[in-house]
Every structure is written in structure tokens, then in C-alpha cells.
């Protein structure tokens, strides 16, 4: 549940920052996805190397990656594709 909240906070902060700064739609989208999406590949590599004896430590990172992509697809379909119609 914490990973879902952390992911949502990242996306919401990008959206709110765009609104507060008064940016145009395209710039708001860039801020939203720029702050909401991040690369977790290096975290997975570091966790697998540093915590060899504890492979379950990678599950929250993998779960966050999955949630991040699901939230990004929902944001795209709900907020931005409907506005284009």
C-alpha cells in the first residue's frame, strides 16, 4: 500500500506543480510524467547485488515498477485522452 501511495504522490505532485506554475497543457503533461515515472532498473541491480542473501528485498521495487506503469496508463487514458475528444 505504501508503494501505491508513493507512486500516486509523485504523479499528483507533477500535476499540481504544473497547475501552480500556470504551464500549458503539454508542459503539465511533461511535468506529470517526468516526476511520476522514474527508472527503477538501477535500484533492482543494486538491491540484487547488495542483498544477495535476501532476494525478497526486490519485491517492493518490482511492485512499485508495476504500479508506476499502471498509474501512468490510467492517467493517460482518464485525464488526457478524454480531454482530447
Domain total of the chain: 1
Residue 49 has pLDDT above 90, yes or no: no
Q: Using one digit for the tens of pLDDT, what is the confidence trace for 2-43?
A: 888 999 999 999 999 999 999 998 899 899 999 999 888 888
**Total-model pTM:** 0.79
Give the domain extent around 49. Answer: 2-84
Average pLDDT over residues 61-75: 91
- In 3D space, the residue among 44, 40, 38, 31 whose CA is nearest the CA of residue 79 turns out to be 31
Q: How far apart are CA 63 and CA 1, in angstroms?
A: 10
Cell of 34: 517526468
Amino acid at each position: 500500500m505504501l508503494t501505491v501511495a508513493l507512486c500516486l504522490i509523485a504523479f499528483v505532485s507533477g500535476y499540481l506543480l504544473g497547475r501552480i506554475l500556470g504551464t500549458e497543457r503539454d508542459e503539465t503533461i511533461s511535468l506529470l510524467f517526468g516526476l511520476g515515472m522514474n527508472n527503477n532498473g538501477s535500484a533492482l541491480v543494486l538491491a540484487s547485488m547488495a542483498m544477495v542473501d535476501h532476494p525478497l528485498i526486490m519485491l517492493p521495487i518490482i511492485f512499485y515498477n508495476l504500479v508506476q506503469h499502471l498509474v501512468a496508463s490510467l492517467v493517460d487514458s482518464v485525464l488526457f485522452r478524454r480531454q482530447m475528444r
